[in-house]
A and B are shown apart, each in its own frame.
Chain A
Amino acid sequence: MMADNRVELHIPSIMGFEKVAMECSASVAKKMGFTEDRIEDLKTAVAEACLNAIEHGNKLDTSTKVGVTLTVGETKLQVAVKDEGKGVGEISPPSIENKMEGKDKPRGWGLFLIKNLINEVTFEPSPEGGNITKMVIYLEK
Protein backbone atom coordinates (compact mmCIF):
# COMPACT_ATOMS: atom_id res chain seq x y z
CA MET A 1 0.00 0.00 0.00
CA MET A 2 1.39 3.42 -0.87
CA ALA A 3 -0.01 6.62 0.63
CA ASP A 4 1.70 9.78 -0.55
CA ASN A 5 5.35 9.22 0.20
CA ARG A 6 4.87 6.11 2.32
CA VAL A 7 5.04 2.41 1.62
CA GLU A 8 3.59 0.03 4.18
CA LEU A 9 3.75 -3.72 4.40
CA HIS A 10 3.09 -6.39 6.97
CA ILE A 11 5.04 -9.60 7.17
CA PRO A 12 4.27 -12.72 9.21
CA SER A 13 6.41 -13.48 12.25
CA ILE A 14 8.24 -16.25 10.45
CA MET A 15 11.99 -16.28 9.89
CA GLY A 16 12.78 -15.74 6.23
CA PHE A 17 10.03 -13.20 5.61
CA GLU A 18 12.44 -10.43 6.64
CA LYS A 19 13.78 -10.78 3.09
CA VAL A 20 10.47 -9.46 1.72
CA ALA A 21 10.87 -6.23 3.73
CA MET A 22 14.56 -6.11 2.83
CA GLU A 23 13.90 -6.31 -0.92
CA CYS A 24 11.06 -3.79 -0.71
CA SER A 25 13.33 -1.31 1.12
CA ALA A 26 16.04 -1.86 -1.47
CA SER A 27 13.60 -1.12 -4.31
CA VAL A 28 12.50 2.16 -2.67
CA ALA A 29 16.11 3.17 -1.93
CA LYS A 30 17.14 2.42 -5.51
CA LYS A 31 14.28 4.56 -6.81
CA MET A 32 15.49 7.39 -4.53
CA GLY A 33 19.02 7.21 -5.95
CA PHE A 34 20.95 5.60 -3.09
CA THR A 35 24.29 4.08 -4.04
CA GLU A 36 24.62 0.30 -4.24
CA ASP A 37 26.80 0.28 -1.12
CA ARG A 38 24.23 2.16 0.95
CA ILE A 39 21.43 -0.03 -0.36
CA GLU A 40 23.35 -3.07 0.89
CA ASP A 41 23.75 -1.38 4.29
CA LEU A 42 20.03 -0.62 4.37
CA LYS A 43 19.11 -4.19 3.38
CA THR A 44 21.10 -5.66 6.25
CA ALA A 45 19.71 -3.14 8.77
CA VAL A 46 16.09 -3.71 7.70
CA ALA A 47 16.53 -7.48 7.75
CA GLU A 48 18.04 -7.35 11.25
CA ALA A 49 15.30 -5.04 12.59
CA CYS A 50 12.64 -7.39 11.18
CA LEU A 51 14.42 -10.44 12.61
CA ASN A 52 14.51 -8.80 16.04
CA ALA A 53 10.80 -8.00 15.74
CA ILE A 54 9.96 -11.55 14.63
CA GLU A 55 12.13 -13.35 17.16
CA HIS A 56 12.38 -11.11 20.23
CA GLY A 57 9.36 -8.83 19.83
CA ASN A 58 6.73 -11.24 18.57
CA LYS A 59 8.44 -14.37 19.96
CA LEU A 60 7.91 -16.21 16.66
CA ASP A 61 4.15 -16.15 17.30
CA THR A 62 2.67 -16.78 13.85
CA SER A 63 -0.59 -15.07 14.82
CA THR A 64 1.30 -11.75 14.98
CA LYS A 65 2.65 -9.51 12.24
CA VAL A 66 5.59 -7.19 11.82
CA GLY A 67 4.68 -3.83 10.30
CA VAL A 68 7.20 -2.05 8.11
CA THR A 69 6.66 1.55 7.03
CA LEU A 70 9.01 3.28 4.63
CA THR A 71 8.74 7.06 4.52
CA VAL A 72 10.46 8.75 1.62
CA GLY A 73 11.96 12.18 2.26
CA GLU A 74 13.88 14.48 -0.02
CA THR A 75 17.22 13.58 1.46
CA LYS A 76 16.47 10.58 3.61
CA LEU A 77 14.56 7.34 3.92
CA GLN A 78 13.00 6.34 7.22
CA VAL A 79 12.13 2.72 7.90
CA ALA A 80 9.95 1.97 10.93
CA VAL A 81 9.66 -1.65 12.01
CA LYS A 82 6.87 -2.38 14.48
CA ASP A 83 6.32 -5.50 16.53
CA GLU A 84 3.60 -6.50 18.99
CA GLY A 85 5.88 -7.37 21.88
CA LYS A 86 6.93 -5.83 25.17
CA GLY A 87 10.33 -4.66 24.03
CA VAL A 88 13.77 -5.74 25.11
CA GLY A 89 15.95 -3.96 27.61
CA GLU A 90 19.32 -2.42 26.90
CA ILE A 91 21.71 -5.00 25.48
CA SER A 92 25.44 -4.70 26.03
CA PRO A 93 27.56 -4.49 22.84
CA PRO A 94 28.67 -7.89 21.59
CA SER A 95 32.29 -8.98 22.00
CA ILE A 96 33.77 -11.27 19.36
CA GLU A 97 36.46 -12.30 21.85
CA ASN A 98 33.90 -13.45 24.42
CA LYS A 99 31.94 -15.28 21.76
CA MET A 100 35.06 -16.97 20.38
CA GLU A 101 36.03 -18.09 23.88
CA GLY A 102 32.55 -19.43 24.57
CA LYS A 103 31.85 -16.90 27.36
CA ASP A 104 28.90 -15.50 25.38
CA LYS A 105 26.59 -17.12 22.86
CA PRO A 106 27.69 -16.46 19.26
CA ARG A 107 24.39 -14.71 18.47
CA GLY A 108 23.38 -11.13 19.30
CA TRP A 109 24.74 -9.04 16.42
CA GLY A 110 21.49 -7.55 15.10
CA LEU A 111 21.43 -4.24 16.97
CA PHE A 112 25.18 -3.85 16.56
CA LEU A 113 24.82 -4.12 12.79
CA ILE A 114 21.86 -1.73 12.64
CA LYS A 115 23.68 0.91 14.70
CA ASN A 116 26.80 0.62 12.56
CA LEU A 117 25.12 0.64 9.16
CA ILE A 118 22.38 3.26 9.53
CA ASN A 119 22.70 7.02 10.19
CA GLU A 120 20.12 7.15 12.99
CA VAL A 121 18.23 4.53 14.97
CA THR A 122 15.74 4.91 17.82
CA PHE A 123 13.62 2.42 19.76
CA GLU A 124 10.28 3.53 21.13
CA PRO A 125 7.00 2.07 22.36
CA SER A 126 4.08 2.31 19.96
CA PRO A 127 0.93 4.12 21.17
CA GLU A 128 -1.14 1.09 20.10
CA GLY A 129 1.17 -1.32 21.92
CA GLY A 130 4.30 -3.03 20.77
CA ASN A 131 7.60 -1.40 19.91
CA ILE A 132 8.95 0.51 16.96
CA THR A 133 12.50 0.54 15.66
CA LYS A 134 12.95 3.69 13.58
CA MET A 135 15.92 3.83 11.23
CA VAL A 136 16.97 6.76 9.06
CA ILE A 137 19.44 6.60 6.21
CA TYR A 138 20.54 9.75 4.38
CA LEU A 139 21.21 10.24 0.72
CA GLU A 140 24.86 11.19 0.29
CA LYS A 141 25.46 14.21 -1.88
Chain B
Amino acid sequence: MNKDIQVSISQKDDVSILNIKGDVTAITGESIEQAYQKVSTGGAKKILLYFDQDGYINSGGIAILIGIASESRKNGQTVRMTGLSGHFQKIFNMVGLTKYTEIFQTEELALKDF
Protein backbone atom coordinates (compact mmCIF):
# COMPACT_ATOMS: atom_id res chain seq x y z
CA MET B 1 0.00 0.00 0.00
CA ASN B 2 3.03 2.21 -0.38
CA LYS B 3 2.26 3.33 -3.89
CA ASP B 4 0.00 6.12 -2.75
CA ILE B 5 2.25 9.08 -3.45
CA GLN B 6 4.17 10.71 -6.26
CA VAL B 7 6.49 13.61 -5.55
CA SER B 8 8.05 15.57 -8.37
CA ILE B 9 10.23 18.66 -8.25
CA SER B 10 9.89 21.69 -10.50
CA GLN B 11 11.41 25.15 -10.49
CA LYS B 12 9.84 28.57 -11.05
CA ASP B 13 12.46 31.31 -10.92
CA ASP B 14 14.15 30.85 -7.53
CA VAL B 15 11.30 28.80 -6.00
CA SER B 16 11.60 25.02 -5.76
CA ILE B 17 8.19 23.38 -6.01
CA LEU B 18 7.50 19.96 -4.53
CA ASN B 19 4.43 18.60 -6.33
CA ILE B 20 2.89 16.12 -3.91
CA LYS B 21 0.26 13.90 -5.53
CA GLY B 22 -1.46 11.47 -3.19
CA ASP B 23 -1.44 10.65 0.49
CA VAL B 24 0.75 12.31 3.10
CA THR B 25 1.33 9.76 5.85
CA ALA B 26 4.13 8.27 7.94
CA ILE B 27 4.50 5.62 5.22
CA THR B 28 4.66 7.96 2.22
CA GLY B 29 6.52 10.71 4.07
CA GLU B 30 9.93 9.40 3.08
CA SER B 31 9.27 10.44 -0.53
CA ILE B 32 8.51 14.00 0.58
CA GLU B 33 11.54 14.12 2.88
CA GLN B 34 13.79 12.88 0.08
CA ALA B 35 12.49 15.55 -2.30
CA TYR B 36 12.98 18.20 0.38
CA GLN B 37 16.55 17.01 1.04
CA LYS B 38 17.26 17.06 -2.69
CA VAL B 39 16.24 20.70 -3.16
CA SER B 40 17.94 21.69 0.12
CA THR B 41 21.19 20.11 -1.01
CA GLY B 42 20.82 22.10 -4.23
CA GLY B 43 20.73 25.31 -2.17
CA ALA B 44 16.99 26.07 -2.30
CA LYS B 45 15.92 28.93 -0.01
CA LYS B 46 12.30 29.18 -1.19
CA ILE B 47 10.25 25.99 -1.21
CA LEU B 48 6.60 25.55 -2.15
CA LEU B 49 4.77 22.38 -1.11
CA TYR B 50 2.01 21.88 -3.66
CA PHE B 51 -0.51 19.34 -2.34
CA ASP B 52 -3.22 17.32 -4.03
CA GLN B 53 -6.71 18.66 -3.13
CA ASP B 54 -8.02 15.09 -2.91
CA GLY B 55 -5.09 13.68 -0.95
CA TYR B 56 -5.38 12.06 2.46
CA ILE B 57 -3.22 13.54 5.21
CA ASN B 58 -3.00 11.93 8.64
CA SER B 59 -1.15 12.67 11.88
CA GLY B 60 1.89 10.77 10.63
CA GLY B 61 1.96 13.02 7.57
CA ILE B 62 1.55 16.12 9.71
CA ALA B 63 4.60 15.00 11.70
CA ILE B 64 6.60 14.73 8.47
CA LEU B 65 5.61 18.29 7.54
CA ILE B 66 6.51 19.57 11.02
CA GLY B 67 9.91 17.94 10.57
CA ILE B 68 10.40 19.76 7.27
CA ALA B 69 9.19 23.06 8.75
CA SER B 70 11.60 22.65 11.65
CA GLU B 71 14.57 21.80 9.45
CA SER B 72 13.79 24.61 7.02
CA ARG B 73 13.99 27.11 9.87
CA LYS B 74 17.45 25.86 10.79
CA ASN B 75 18.46 26.07 7.11
CA GLY B 76 17.14 29.63 6.71
CA GLN B 77 14.55 28.54 4.14
CA THR B 78 11.02 29.79 3.63
CA VAL B 79 8.39 27.11 3.08
CA ARG B 80 4.92 27.88 1.75
CA MET B 81 2.01 25.53 1.04
CA THR B 82 -0.80 25.46 -1.50
CA GLY B 83 -3.33 23.02 -2.98
CA LEU B 84 -4.74 22.01 0.39
CA SER B 85 -8.45 21.30 0.80
CA GLY B 86 -10.39 23.48 3.24
CA HIS B 87 -10.42 20.62 5.73
CA PHE B 88 -6.66 20.26 5.83
CA GLN B 89 -6.18 24.02 5.96
CA LYS B 90 -8.31 23.87 9.11
CA ILE B 91 -6.29 20.93 10.49
CA PHE B 92 -2.97 22.69 9.85
CA ASN B 93 -4.31 25.76 11.63
CA MET B 94 -5.50 23.57 14.50
CA VAL B 95 -2.10 22.00 15.12
CA GLY B 96 -0.31 25.34 14.71
CA LEU B 97 1.69 24.47 11.61
CA THR B 98 0.54 27.67 9.93
CA LYS B 99 2.56 29.68 12.47
CA TYR B 100 5.62 28.44 10.62
CA THR B 101 4.47 27.78 7.06
CA GLU B 102 1.94 30.02 5.36
CA ILE B 103 -0.91 28.52 3.32
CA PHE B 104 -1.97 30.11 0.01
CA GLN B 105 -5.15 29.45 -1.92
CA THR B 106 -3.45 29.19 -5.32
CA GLU B 107 0.01 28.52 -6.70
CA GLU B 108 0.01 32.00 -8.27
CA LEU B 109 -0.63 33.66 -4.89
CA ALA B 110 1.97 31.46 -3.21
CA LEU B 111 4.64 32.44 -5.73
CA LYS B 112 3.82 36.16 -5.57
CA ASP B 113 6.34 38.13 -3.51
CA PHE B 114 7.96 34.90 -2.31
A interface residues with partner B (beta carbon < 8 Å): 14-19, 22, 37, 40-41, 44, 47-48, 51, 94, 96-97, 99-102, 105-110, 112-113, 116
Contact call A113/B91, Cβ cutoff below 8 A: yes
Query: How many chain B residues touch the partner (CB < 8 A)?
Result: 28
A100 partner residues in chain B, CB cutoff 8 A: 66, 69-70, 73, 100
Nearest Cβ distance between residue A121 and chain B, in whole angstroms? 15
**B6 near A: Cβ within 8 Å?**
no
Within 8 A of A (CB), among B94-108: 94-97, 99-100
Contact call A96/B59, Cβ cutoff below 8 A: no
Chain A residue at smallest Cβ distance from B87: A40
Point out the residue from B2, B25, B27, B59 that lies within 8 Å of A113, measured CB to CB: B59
Instruction: Write the B64-99 contact mask toward A (1 if CB under 8 angstroms, else 0).
Output: 101101100100000000000111000100111101
Point out the residue from A19, A22, A41, A105 that lies within 8 Å of B63, measured CB to CB: A105
Point out the residue from B2, B58, B73 that lies within 8 Å of A44, measured CB to CB: B58
**B43 near A: Cβ within 8 Å?**
no
Contact call B56/A109, Cβ cutoff below 8 A: no
Nearest Cβ distance between residue B112 and chain A, in whole angstroms? 26
Contact call A96/B91, Cβ cutoff below 8 A: no
Chain A residue at smallest Cβ distance from B74: A102
Bound-state Cα–Cα, A15 to B26, Å: 9
Bound-state Cα–Cα, A113 to B90, Å: 11
Known: A51-B58, A96-B96. 7 other contacts (CB 8 A): A16-B2, A16-B27, A47-B56, A99-B66, A107-B63, A109-B62, A113-B95
Contact call A96/B95, Cβ cutoff below 8 A: yes
Chain B residue at smallest Cβ distance from A40: B87
Contact call B70/A113, Cβ cutoff below 8 A: no
Contact call A109/B27, Cβ cutoff below 8 A: no
Contact call B56/A19, Cβ cutoff below 8 A: yes
Contact call A37/B59, Cβ cutoff below 8 A: no
A109 partner residues in chain B, CB cutoff 8 A: 59, 62-63, 95
Chain B residue at smallest Cβ distance from A99: B66
Nearest Cβ distance between residue B88 and chain A, in whole angstroms? 9
Contact call B95/A94, Cβ cutoff below 8 A: yes
Contact call B87/A41, Cβ cutoff below 8 A: yes
Chain B residue at smallest Cβ distance from A107: B63
Known: A41-B87, A94-B95, A96-B99. A106 touches B27 (CB 8 A): no
